[in-house]
Structure 1
């Protein structure tokens, strides 16, 4: 009985010692997401910036990662530039930054993004078809605002599933945007547009990570911000359905309609463990997302919300004021430091393990001490969750 009680007591206290993990036959693994704002304004600029070890912002991003030391990490807003992956590891992560210890990620996964890939249609109805708003995902060039997964554990690359080309219209009961001139007609986009328009503004990836004898599916994405549109709310509705995609994927019986880029169909097997991670651009109560958007994931039957937070988020809301003073969500859970007037600081970034994984520690990295200088690395803060994974 004592071995069964120890993990429960440790979870309440927020601390699980290594001997306890070993005694129960488990290993503690830290999963994290960080929108690091490593996007650049032109193709090739990220590679140029990372080619030397002296880019100030990249050094701050690397220090944040080094001080948190995740085992498996999603970086949002890392331009799709495969050459940049080794440059970031070699010149930044594997060099100690301001006294932080170097960190090594021998495994990485990067793939194309829908950002900047033009559809050939005038999606925002501004009279042109060649701007970032006319791409499958907003971007000034193909791959801007992409994603990168880094891992200390082997990635099963042969079984990675990507969903870059999944069409929005193929989601049953999709929340397609209405033309305000003909409300409820779901006709902001023509049938010709819907025949090509993809759901993912970047992509959705199922990245299997082998941890001992276990495989954990790292389910990563970066739904579009629910803003920068008009009364039709084309970005808000899309954000809702990008979030819904993972909720359906991990819920038994709901993911049958899903197909990946290799035309394999279906969602995740109910026996498989997973961690959903990413900048979802949706707060449970505040901001501009469609009401209930993130709740689709938070309330999915197999998902656990460890509710990571920080004192830094509370302090920022108090000192910055503005929209933060009228928010309904607890600022302890905020992850993003946005414009004080609107929308204010929000919980936008999530790390959500599945049942079968035991979350024992969770935090938002928002320091208030001398390391608060790192809060300028990005307008988002790294979110981390430690889970126990069986070694047997």
Structure 2
């Protein structure tokens, strides 16, 4: 029996035992009003929630970054979700979430349509405060006291910001621009107390670069939201971690396909401080006419040819990490696993396995 035990231990890949798996997913776990997500999770009958739990347990990340999750002040919905995932076998004792900009009304006509208090007039699109926020679930302790929240940074205060203009005038007005924050959802830097050393999660959810007019308000904002992270690493907002950090979230931007200003995402992917693991799905991807990005890299399946399949979710570790593996959880659609992934969200979970070099 002892010999068998030793044989089994020798078969364990020790490098894998020291691997940290980080995953991100735009879960689209939003409801029509506050409190409804908590209700659906607690009732235990919601097919989307059940499918999300199935995806999480299949990928089994050590740290999971979620976008598109309704926020409440006491984090009751997030805690209920964490408990349901734990019952399925994946334990996350630590969570982090702060109030997002979504649904936070500015008191101004942000989109210039002559109407006030619409979802478009909030700091980030939202029918109620906290709709579609962000959250972190982790096996390792999160240092909430040391976390940095850049969600209140005004867009105009970003160095080199390009604000929308119409007929050579600020759009919709200088007064409106003076109140608008850069982040449409949130921008966080959260330290993690890993047994082998401290690391930092840099996470965000950028605007969709569409749904506007020729002033290109959303396209410009998306580009500057991505540019923020390079400025942050430059030290423009105070000391930034020099090593062991991971930038992860939703850029809402494909480097080649779809709408939007491509400079923001291309510059981020080309930043020499970051690694793009280029995770791909395990199986074949559809052949999409006119598609320039390798379709195996796509992370979302929006309906129709526009916007269609795009690469919009990313995990970009700092250069000092060793990439052990990466992937996109996109099982074949004619399988139970594929049905669960599609039911959970139009987006797919992106994951990266990291190893510390020392």
Same fold by TM-score greater than 0.5: yes
What's 1:232 paired with?
215
The offset of 1:176, in angstroms, is 1.3
What's 2:161 paired with?
174
Decide which of 205, 208, 214 is 2:197's aligned counterpart. 214
Structure-2-length-normalised TM-score: 0.92
Decide which of 130, 146, 152 is 2:139's aligned counterpart. 152
Do the aligned partners of 2:327 and 2:351 also contact (CA within 8 Å) in 1?
yes
The offset of 1:80, in angstroms, is 0.8
What's 1:335 paired with?
299
Secondary structure of the equivalent of 1:136? coil
Do the aligned partners of 2:253 and 2:262 also contact (CA within 8 Å) in 1?
no
Is 1:385 paired with 2:352? yes
Decide which of 91, 94, 108 is 2:86's aligned counterpart. 94
What's 2:271 paired with?
300
What's 2:310 paired with?
346
Structure-1-length-normalised TM-score: 0.84
In 1, Cα distance between the equivalents of 2:341 and 2:250?
17
What's 1:46 paired with?
37
RMSD over aligned Cα atoms? 1.6
What's 2:3 paired with?
none
What's 2:235 paired with?
255
In 1, Cα distance between the equivalents of 2:64 and 2:232?
21
Q: For structure 2, which runs of at least 5 residues remain unmatched after alignment?
A: 1-10
> Whose strand fraction is larger, Structure 1's or Structure 2's?
2
The offset of 1:133, in angstroms, is 0.6
What's 1:27 paired with?
18
In 2, Cα distance between the equivalents of 1:54 and 1:389?
40
Is 1:268 paired with 2:233? no
In 1, Cα distance between the equivalents of 2:323 and 2:274?
11
Do the aligned partners of 2:164 and 2:216 also contact (CA within 8 Å) in 1?
yes
Is 1:36 paired with 2:20? no
1:120-152 residue CA offsets vs partner (Å, 9 max, x unmatched): 111111111210111110000001010010000
Decide which of 289, 309, 313 is 2:280's aligned counterpart. 309
1:75-123 residue CA offsets vs partner (Å, 9 max, x unmatched): 1001112111121122x20233xxxxx1000000010000011111111
Secondary structure of the equivalent of 2:19? strand
Residue correspondence of structure 1 range 7-156 to structure 2 within 5 A:
19-21=13-15, 27-81=18-72, 82-90=75-83, 92-96=84-88, 102-156=89-143
Range 290-299 or range 279-288, more displaced:
290-299
The offset of 1:50, in angstroms, is 1.1
In 2, Cα distance between the equivalents of 1:375 and 1:248?
35
In 1, Cα distance between the equivalents of 2:76 and 2:235?
34
Do the aligned partners of 2:65 and 2:135 also contact (CA within 8 Å) in 1?
yes
